[in-house]
């Protein structure tokens, strides 16, 4: 069978790990005709791509600049904001923006959110009837991080359904592996609605500052000045989208893994104090970030393959996290695994700004679920996975809680 990586293939979407293993052994720097890009799967190569100064995270500008049809007009406002997202920026702009945001999203500020996150988990569970089957994705894994981010930004939870719809629209462009007919119009619709909403929020916070993180971002200042209006809007969009989507996938993927490994589920129930190492293993075993994308700046080689300036590369994080060259028993879920130097949050200057918050939400949400519902089990049917290349997550996970 020829070695072909196509993330839109249903079998690959459900379980990409056997193919990742083959790629690591047979073609670790693989040219995908389906994607017209390089696919990198070994741990050391993925780490090198994530950290390399001759790789750029700005994959959107080259794509946009080569458009010559109606998509250029449709995507103009989408690109306007996404190109200001921290994750797509190169130094020195990245350095300045990261410095300002680091002063807002501090370790102490995130740690102080733990009681609030516990309250969110309790509020969400109070809306669920444990005697009835529940879709854990829609009923819990989506709402917990969604409410946490809304609280953090000082936005009423009643806006959740709107925000979720905007996020879903943007996801079709940012992470989908399929060229859906309406993906660009959906992305424009989501970006227009979200940017207009945050312009209003920012104006209100300028007039009446509060303790929320929007107010803190407005007030952030260093020797270079403050965030521009467009940077504020774009960063609010990133916090809402990235902080919500990634943690939803972390929680749902973790529960799915526990249901597949009842002995590990029992281990966590018997020793709840191991939740920290458990979350790290969930992040490694089937993490929420499937890949990171880069664009080659200058011609060089990787794994013996010639990379040309302008080539796109997808460094497959979830493949690297099961590389037997780095991890013993890589395909086993071991909640006590140590060391566990997974690459889920990236490396170097682009290490995920939201990692501390995602870890904290995962510890609280999964710890409460394991404590409260020791008999949690599947409610029938196969889990359904998001059709995405950048993200890895479930669209539904039916469970019995009690």
- If one counts every other C-beta atom within 10 angstroms of the C-beta of residue 232, the result is 22
Q: In this predicted model, what pLDDT tens digit does every residue of 102-139 receive, in sequence order?
A: 999 999 999 999 999 999 999 999 999 999 999 999 99
**How many beta carbons lie within 10 A of that of residue 262, not counting itself?**
10
Q: What is the mean pLDDT of the chain?
A: 94
pLDDT, tens digit (0-9, with 9 covering 90-100), for 229-252: 999 999 999 999 888 889 999 999
CATH of domain 64-285+340-400: 1.10.630.10
Closest to 364 in 3D by CA, of 111, 109, 156: 111
Specify the pLDDT at position 1.
64
Percentage of the chain modeled with pLDDT above 70: 98
Whether the per-residue pLDDT at 175 is higher than 80: the answer is no
Which range among 65-69, 179-183, 248-252 shows the weakest confidence by mean pLDDT?
A: 179-183
Task: State the average pLDDT over residues 158-162.
Answer: 95
Cα–Cα nearest to 389, from 254, 292, 253: 292
242: left (phi over 0), alpha (psi -120 to 50) or beta: alpha
270-279 long-range contacts (CB < 8 A, ≥24 apart) are 272/367, 272/370, 272/371, 274/335, 274/336, 275/363, 275/366, 275/367, 275/370, 276/363, 277/335, 277/336, 277/337, 277/338, 277/340, 278/254, 278/335, 278/366, 279/250, 279/254, 279/359, 279/362, 279/363, 279/366
Q: Beta-strand (E) ranges in 92-138?
A: 134-135
C-alpha span between 202 and 296 (Å, rounded): 36
What's the confidence (pLDDT) of residue 178?
59
Separation of CA 265 from chain center: 24
- List, in order, residues 6 or more apart from 27 with CB less than 8 Å away: 3
Is residue 365 over pLDDT 80?
A: yes
Residue 311 has pLDDT above 60, yes or no: yes
Give yes or no for a contact between 29 and 38, defined as CB atoms under 8 angstroms apart.
Answer: yes
pLDDT of residue 14: 93
Domain boundaries of the chain, sorted by first residue? 64-285+340-400
Measure the CA–CA gap between 102 and 98, rounded to whole angstroms: 6
pLDDT at residue 176, rounded to an integer:
63
Count the residues in the chain. 402
Distance CA 362, CA 143 (A): 13
Prediction pTM value:
0.95
pLDDT at 256 over 80: yes
Both tokens assigned to 363: 């510890």
Packing angle, helices 355-372 and 143-153, rounded to 10: 130
For 281-293, write each residue's pLDDT tens digit. Answer: 999 999 999 999 9
Once rounded to an integer, what is the mean pLDDT over residues 70-82? 91
Percentage of the chain lying above the pLDDT 90 cut: 82
Cα 323 from Cα 345, distance rounded (Å): 16
């Amino acid at each position: 069978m020829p070695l072909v990586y196509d993330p839109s293939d249903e079998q690959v979407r459900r379980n990409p790990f056997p193919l990742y293993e083959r790629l690591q052994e047979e073609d670790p720097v693989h040219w995908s005709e389906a994607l017209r890009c390089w696919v990198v799967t070994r741990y050391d190569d993925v780490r090198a791509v994530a950290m390399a100064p001759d790789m750029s995270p700005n994959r959107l500008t080259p794509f946009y600049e080569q458009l010559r049809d109606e998509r250029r007009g449709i995507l103009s406002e989408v690109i306007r904001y996404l190109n200001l997202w921290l994750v797509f920026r190169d130094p020195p702009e990245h350095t300045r923006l990261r410095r300002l945001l680091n002063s807002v999203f501090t370790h102490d500020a995130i740690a102080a959110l733990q009681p609030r996150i516990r309250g969110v988990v309790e509020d969400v569970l109070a809306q669920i009837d444990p005697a009835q089957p529940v879709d854990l994705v829609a009923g819990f894994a989506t709402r917990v991080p969604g409410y946490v981010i809304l609280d953090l930004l000082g936005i009423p939870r009643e806006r959740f359904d709107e925000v979720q719809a905007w996020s879903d629209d943007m996801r079709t462009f940012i992470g989908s592996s399929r060229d859906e007919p309406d993906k660009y119009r959906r992305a424009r619709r989501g970006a227009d609605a979200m940017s207009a909403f945050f312009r209003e929020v920012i104006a209100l916070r300028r007039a009446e500052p509060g303790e929320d993180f929007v107010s803190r971002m407005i007030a952030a200042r260093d020797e270079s000045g403050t965030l521009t209006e467009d940077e504020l809007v774009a960063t609010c969009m990133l916090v809402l989208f990235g902080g919500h989507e990634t943690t939803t996938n972390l929680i749902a993927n973790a529960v799915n893994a526990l249901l597949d490994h009842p002995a590990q589920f029992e281990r966590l129930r018997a020793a709840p104090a191991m939740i920290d190492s458990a979350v790290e293993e969930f992040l490694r075993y089937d993490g929420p970030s499937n890949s990171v994308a880069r664009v080659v700046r200058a011609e060089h080689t990787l794994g013996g393959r010639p990379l040309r300036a302008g080539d796109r590369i997808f460094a497959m994080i979830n493949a690297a996290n099961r590389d037997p060259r780095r991890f013993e028993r890589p395909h086993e879920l071991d909640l006590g695994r140590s060391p566990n130097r997974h690459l889920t949050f990236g490396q170097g200057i682009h290490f995920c700004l939201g990692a501390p918050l995602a870890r904290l939400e995962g510890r609280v949400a999964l710890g409460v679920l394991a404590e409260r519902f020791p008999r949690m089990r599947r409610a029938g049917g196969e889990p359904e996975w998001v059709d995405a290349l950048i993200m890895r997550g479930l669209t539904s996970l039916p469970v019995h809680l009690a």
